[in-house]
Structure 1
Amino acid sequence: MFCASFAPAITFGGLLGKYTNEKIGILETLMAQCICGVLWGIFAVQPLMIMSATGPVLVFEVSLYAFCTNLNIDFLTVRLYAGLWVLVISIITVAVDGSRMLRYVTRFTEDIFASLISVIFIAESLRFLYQTFIHNPVANFEFYRHIRQKCELNAFNGERNDSQMLSICNGEPNTALLTTFIMISTFALAYGLRLLRQSYYLGRTLRRALGDFGVLIAIAVVASVVHLLVPDPYLQRLEVPDHFSFTNIEARQHGLFVSAYLPLNQLWVIIVAIVAALLVFILLFVETEITELLLSRKDRCLVKGSGLHWDLLLMGACTLLCSIFGLPWMCAAAVQSLAHCSSLSVPKKTAPGERRGVDYVLEQRVTTIGVSLLMGLFAFGGSYLRLPLASLFGVFLYLGVMNLTGVQFIQRIILFFIPGKYFPDTPYTESVDIRRMHLYTAIQIICLIIIYAVKYFKRTALAFPFILMLFILLRQFFLKKIFTEKELKALDGDDETNNENGWLEKDFFEDAPLPV
């Protein structure tokens, strides 16, 4: 479980540092996961849930940073007040039994949400690669010598280099190709090990272990090869201090605790924080409660019940605590939580050919607390955590692709290009007319384009959780007037496909409707 949790933590932490100008980075992410994980393991009703940095919250934090930068207000101070309001909203939600609102979040919204996060992950990975080629063109020695001489001559004469010249004055001839190799190798190795998990090669236990630890194995192998064989070319790496400290104290501009001080002419920041809290609470609420429900399914065979209200309240308290210390917000990670539950599940003894099932689950709090403490221990890693950014973007690309696994929306898009006689036997192909099915898919495509456009522009990026909430209303009120109840049940219901190997063999990315 540590390996399954550590790889996303360093990936999201490293990228958060890149996009927030190192106000929050990898060390803060590891400490946040340590603190929140220990508190969750001790006080949560459902301790099998893993608290972690997740893609949706990462996307929101980056959008909030860009929003605060445009308004020239302090990012961490806004997060402090937002964390306070998240706790207040959590208390109000629990008081009015707000968890029952979760029944309105259906596959229609979940698929759009997962697709949005995947598109963002893939687009940002390709954007990083494109910028690397712009700043480090693939050219011969004469090209770089000419550029360096011209840059030095302009600097000596007091002339300013144009923007295109300035971008490559410090370029390196081998950086772009090496970055491409690292990124693609990390993605290919992690993806190949995930495919191995669902194959018939090797023993069941070994292939499951390789698949579950695939991301960490890919990062370690690629980083080791680069360090041993090609150490010379310049590579962008994670900014990590040599000793235990904040990622960048100067960029942070706060001490151990984030200052709540606001000048009189910036008291309106509290209003901004309320809006930010409402938006991030939508993400935290959906991810935490849906993960709780996934673990409470009958086929998981958990004896202890779930605590939708208490755990939501605890999530709000953890959010405030992270805001006080200037740490990234944590929430329940669906994929890691399902993997945690599976690792503690003891299968029934069955005869050959019978469907595998779960006999019982070793429900306890030790593993959650232990994994969290190990996260905190690795925050002392110092220079050993200075991984190439290309490797992390390779993981980013991998998560973007894997988040689409099992997304029915993507499967129906593929059906646009397949003749009807070759359609798979699924409820939405057997119970719904082809044109009606394509209409439903087209509506989802339009929704995805709209929410991605909102996220793309910096001035509106912060509002993407609100747009997601509008899609819930669209599903509940508008689609019911277009499609019959039978059609919606087939298109928007849960899959009931047979799994002859039992759910233990099912890929956790496919089993979890939420993105990593």
Structure 2
Amino acid sequence: MSILLFMGTYLISRQLKEFKSSLYFPSNIRLLISDFAVTIAIVSMSMLDFYVGIPTPKLVVPKTFEPTLPGRGWMIPPLKNNPWISVFIAIPPALLGTILIFMDQQITAVIVNRKQHKLKKGCGYHLDLFVISILIQVCSCMGLPWFVAATVPSINHVNSLKLESELAAPGEKQTFLGVREQRVTHILIFSTVGLSVFLTPILGFIPMPVLYGIFLFMGAESLRGLELFNRILIMFIPSKYQPDYQFLREIPIGRVHLFTIIQLACLLCLWTVKSFSSTSILFPLMLVVMIAVRKFLDQIFTQQELRVLDDIMPQISSEDQKKRSDKKNMSAISKISHYILGPKLIKTEKHKVELC
């Protein structure tokens, strides 16, 4: 029964997510069904489990709104019964935790802001990290789990906000136009997460296999469009049947496979270190080792190849920097002149604005 619930949840979510490109029903209804595919799958499979009545593992939720550890208050004293020297002993593991959280946040931000997503609004790497660091301090004082970037939900959130062309020829796929960049969905999501503490009697009826099916669906969806996953797939596709990817136009296929194999080897090393409890504490240090590996790739690949395969952030030339600086200075001068002289300015014969 657990396997049926697991596979049924995954298949329903997958099929309903693709329902927006089907030929049935008006476009508004198809889009609505596609947006709520996960919710429909959870509700339908949970109702099936309740109707059949076969005992299955359920989501474990607390029955009361209080700290889970008996005898503990909402706030945790920094030292309590620990000696003062424990502050210095905690520094090494704290550094490992800092590295892990920093890398997780930065990697997620880089993936979300890739050029394939065509984002227009500026990204706030430092602001995001600052907010996370403040929240981690609050959570530490209250004994709550730390905030992390959550790569898979972040990618799925971006995918759910993709904007595609409405007009397309019959049988033709819709064209990706960009992403709806707004904060409404995030506010609603985390408000709902906060309100879920009052819905524990209902959440306790959700079978765990249903949630595992949702996790599989989210993981599979986050792989779609991921360049690393596409490069892994083309290793098993003959040359004449390979899709027309941009990196295949600019780089020989052998160099692409070499870069992919190095990435897979690094991923295997990280997974091996993380899988064993005796070595998992070294996982943050392995992320630092990956930085050294990335620097070593400069000796194997050219900058042009790394720019295409690794999406290096473009460097601003000195000429472009000068143009930006001149533009910024002219903008400041225009504002000052508008404030002093008013909107009326004098134009010369060469159509250049001069300030009197």
Higher RCO (CA < 8 A, seq sep 6+)? 1
Deviation, structure 1 residue 457: 1.0
CA contact (8 A) 1:454 1:463 kept: yes
Query: Is the aligned partner of 1:312 residue 2:135?
Result: no
* Alignment pair present for 1:338 and 2:158: yes
Check whether the contact 1:186–1:219 (CA below 8 A) recurs between aligned residues. yes
Distance 2:35 2:11 in 1: 15
Matches within 5 A, 1:14-413: 178-227=1-50, 229-231=51-53, 233-246=54-67, 248-250=68-70, 254-260=72-78, 261=80, 263-264=82-83, 266=86, 268-288=89-109, 291=112, 293=113, 299-302=118-121, 306-332=123-149, 334-335=154-155, 337-338=157-158, 368-386=186-204, 387-413=206-232
Residue type of the partner of 1:491?
Answer: L
Report the Cα offset of residue 323 of structure 1. 2.1
C-alpha distance in structure 2 between counterparts of 1:356 and 1:290, whole Å: 17
Q: Which structure shows the bigger proportion of residues in helix conformation?
A: 1
Residue 198 of structure 2 aligns to a residue whose secondary structure is coil
Residue 180 of structure 1: how far off its partner (Å): 0.9
**Cα RMSD after superposing both structures:** 3.4
Identity of aligned residues (%): 29
Change (3 A) 1:384 1:245: farther
Q: Residues 398-418 of structure 1, C-alpha deviation per residue, up to 9 Å, x if partnerless? A: 222222211222222222322
Which sits farther off after the overlay, 481-490 or 182-191? Answer: 481-490
State the Cα distance separating 1:452 from its structure 2 match: 0.9
Cα shift readout 1:312-338 (whole Å, capped 9, x = no counterpart): 212211121122222222345533653
1:407-444 deviations in whole A, cap 9, x for unaligned?
22222222232222222222332333332222222212
Distance 1:433 1:466, change over 3 A: same
Query: Matched residue of 1:249: which SS?
Result: coil
Sort the Cα spacing of 1:222 and 1:318 in 2 relative to 1 into closer, same or farther, 3 A.
Answer: same
CA distance in 2, matches of 1:307, 1:428: 28
Output the TM-score relative to the length of structure 1: 0.51
1:262 shift after superposition = 5.0
Structure 2 CA distance for partners of 1:277 and 1:197, relative to 1, 3 Å: same
CA shift, 1:210, in A, is 2.3
Aligned counterpart in structure 2 of residue 415 of structure 1, from 234, 241, 248: 234
What letter is aligned with 1:188? L
Provide closer, same or farther for how the CA distance between residues 420 and 397 of structure 1 changes in structure 2, counting only shifts above 3 A. same
Distance 1:425 1:373, change over 3 A: closer
Q: Counterpart of 1:425 in 2: which secondary structure? A: coil
- Cα distance in 2 for partners of 1:309, 1:269 equals 25
The separation in 1 between residues aligned to 2:120 and 2:52, in whole angstroms, is 50
2: CA distance, partners of 1:441 / 1:390 = 33
Offset, 1:226: 0.9
Q: How many Å separate the matches in 1 of 2:69 and 2:195? A: 20
* Other-structure match for 2:277: 458
Change in CA separation of 1:455 and 1:200 when aligned onto 2, cut-off 3 Å: farther
Aligned amino acid, residue 133 of structure 2 = G
Provide the rounded CA distance (Å) in 2 between the counterparts of 1:222 and 1:385: 13
**Any gaps of 5 or more consecutive residues in structure 2?**
313-356
Deviation at residue 289 of structure 1 after TM alignment: 6.4
Q: 2-side partners of 1:423 and 1:357: how far apart?
A: 24
SS at match of 2:223: coil
Distance (whole Å) between structure 2 residues aligned to residue 298 and residue 438 of structure 1:
24
Partner amino acid, structure 1, of 2:135: C
Per-residue CA deviations over 1:189-246 (Å, capped at 9, x if unaligned) read: 111122224445443333333223222221111001111x222x32211222333334
- The TM-score, its normalising length taken from structure 2, stands at 0.71
SS of the residue 2:29 aligns to? helix
Does the aligned pair in 2 maintain the 1:279–1:463 contact within 8 Å?
no
Q: How far off is 1:266 after superposition?
A: 4.9
Query: C-alpha separation between the residues in 1 aligned to 2:7 and 2:110?
Result: 35
Which string of whole-angstrom CA distances, capped at 9 and with x for unpartnered residues, describes residues 298-322 of structure 1? 95454xx554433421221112112
How far apart are residue 384 of structure 1 and its match?
0.8
Q: CA deviation at 1:478?
A: 1.6
| Counterparts of 2:296 and 2:245, CA distance in 1 | 25
- Contact kept, 8 Å, 2:20 with 2:30, in 1: the verdict is yes
Could you tell me how far apart the structure 2 residues matched to 1:487 and 1:395 are? 37
The residue number in structure 2 matching 1:487 is 305
Contact 1:318 1:330 in 2 (8 A): yes
